[in-house]
Structure 1
């Protein structure tokens, strides 16, 4: 047992000593999670509108309409600060409302809308609709003041009363099927879970060349020459690779929790899911390193397989967006099942008992990969 632990810990230390591994294994995934999280804006999946002039009559009406549609509003003191927030992607769009009384002013009140290209479409539609509705009320008020001779307060009351008396169309909305996410999705939740899956598997495959170097440099032969059973060598190398995958996954969990406030749900459920998937990744990496004879070839093929299987399994684009035929193929990847488990644990407040089927599927992948990888690696060091 001591020899197994020694081989495993040595493999982990050897991996961490390489400086390039520190960046690609620990820093790069966090940067990707940060980039993906920024795309969702300052409030996750809820769009935010920056408003300059929220205390003006027109501004108050627009803010009320925007908030009624479920969007969030952030007030700014000047247009430059609001535009900078749009450019930095902390908000989706901004409006600048001219400080004029829409009833007394002869000039029209100017409302400037700004957003990045391709973003803020729903916010723009909401703002345009509210401005159009407000302009109808204002024209009615002006007509009552100019023709009817009433004051502004009376005109406002008459317009409001007439709007209540006019028959409206009732629209009812019902949900067909089940909601994909029952809980609140925060800014970095989706990126954190998907990138953990992608990089844990990718690292295990892309660094499988270390096993080849171990054979080429004679390290495996020297271990075989020592009074160390072959089984201990195989288990020790597997343990070392498993520790690498587990350390990377746990680092992403802790870092995203501390830096971005990601809630990983039920601790026991997440720990089991991550632990089993780390074993799947480890087994796949050992299998690849045992079948190939060139470490550069292993690195290239590992990256290709890691990215390809990650994309197919939904680690880059949510698998719910795939056509049904592609989703059928996605189920043949372990990524699909761990992401399904994370959907339940992170977004619907599920527990381990709610993801037992996904854990079982991951266990089947791990058992199959590990069985083949153990035989292949044993043959590679004894041949």
Structure 2
């Protein structure tokens, strides 16, 4: 095995064997994506989920279910307790509770009162409006049938007359055109798609920078000098350390990429282009970790600085608030971070089916950042090997 690969493999294994990384590298990112998606994510069209309690077998329950399903809403029947649990866990957007009195009032043609609850996520209010529109349409249809029956028509003839009238009379159509560029940018994103991109970049950089502590430990415990006592040149030792930092970043990124796709159904677009962006961004993160691990002599300080720098750069680069919401001059400032370039490339792949030429400028900037930081980091590491810790 090449000395460079051997050193890199040791660095990755040392990082993964640190038990403190189990939660922050493998569990916390997916939990955060789940939380952000359920609270702030916007689901695709026709994903409104309605849970109905009561009214099973009644005319009201049947009419409501058929009307909601006809309007492309997902309907499920549960017990009242189960409906509240579904709403609390974000598995349903709106809950309808049909009482026996409401079912009797519907049969008698009287006014019906329904209890409606919504989930806590922001998208639930839009779902509520869809449900209310369906209920209102059902009420209008019921009033029309009642008026025809009072005019002397039987129930079957009244229903047939309404169906015939719908075929003859063209219902007015209203097309809503959203000219807001920000709304158009996020249209069609899945519940977890946006949060997955942001947290992918955030945790790749955080894991890499905090992984700089293993480089300091390798210098302190004499791992690098012992490796160089073998037939290993200083250049190979530096390259192995750089490749180890890169391996840490790739492991974190690949885990989030696969985990979100399998668990949350995140659409990453063209997988090969997404992986290409991931590789270039990981190179930048690895080079940054090389600089921190070479300049500092205390692993605790490296971890603290890595977390602080990672969070600041992530915030400026749009990994906490989408950069589409940034105002000037923050929009311009965000382009100095690698996160913004990687975010822009991933957004183009995910939302606009971008091709390789479309993301080539972003890849070029990331490659330049990685090369510059890697040269500085390698130079600093060579200098650090000459001084005692």
Q: 1:105 aligns with which of 102, 105, 108?
A: 108
Give deviations 1:186-221, integer Å, cap 9, x for gaps.
343333332221111001111212222222333344
CA distance in 1, matches of 2:35, 2:44: 13
Residues 1:59 and 1:363: Cα distance change in structure 2 (over 3 Å): farther
Residue in structure 1 matched with residue 28 of structure 2 by the alignment: 28
Gaps of 5+ in 1: none
Residues 1:42 and 1:304: Cα distance change in structure 2 (over 3 Å): closer
Residue in structure 1 matched with residue 347 of structure 2 by the alignment: 343
1:317 aligns with 2:325: no
Correspondence list, 1:115-130, <5 A: 115-117=118-120, 119=122, 120-130=124-134
The Cα of 1:134 is off from its aligned counterpart by 4.2
Correspondence list, 1:1-383, <5 A: 2-39=2-39, 46-52=47-53, 53=55, 58-59=60-61, 72-98=73-99, 100=103, 104-105=107-108, 107-117=110-120, 119=122, 120-139=124-143, 141-143=145-147, 145-146=149-150, 148-154=151-157, 170-176=173-179, 179-181=184-186, 184-223=188-227, 228-383=232-387
The Cα of 1:290 is off from its aligned counterpart by 1.8
Residues 1:86 and 1:330: Cα distance change in structure 2 (over 3 Å): same
Residues 1:63 and 1:343: Cα distance change in structure 2 (over 3 Å): farther
CA distance in 2, matches of 1:153, 1:369: 78
Corresponding residue SS for 2:112:
coil
Residues 1:323 and 1:219: Cα distance change in structure 2 (over 3 Å): same
Q: Provide the aligned C-alpha RMSD in A.
A: 3.4
The answer to whether the 8 A contact 1:264-1:345 is kept is yes
The Cα of 1:281 is off from its aligned counterpart by 0.6
Give deviations 1:132-165, integer Å, cap 9, x for gaps.
454455445545545x444444555667778899
Q: Give the paired residue count.
A: 380
CA distance in 1, matches of 2:310, 2:26: 17
Gaps of 5+ in 2: none
Stretch of structure 1 that moved more, 21-30 or 271-280 = 21-30
When normalised by structure 2's length, the TM-score is 0.83
CA distance in 1, matches of 2:65, 2:317: 41
Residues 1:74 and 1:317: Cα distance change in structure 2 (over 3 Å): farther
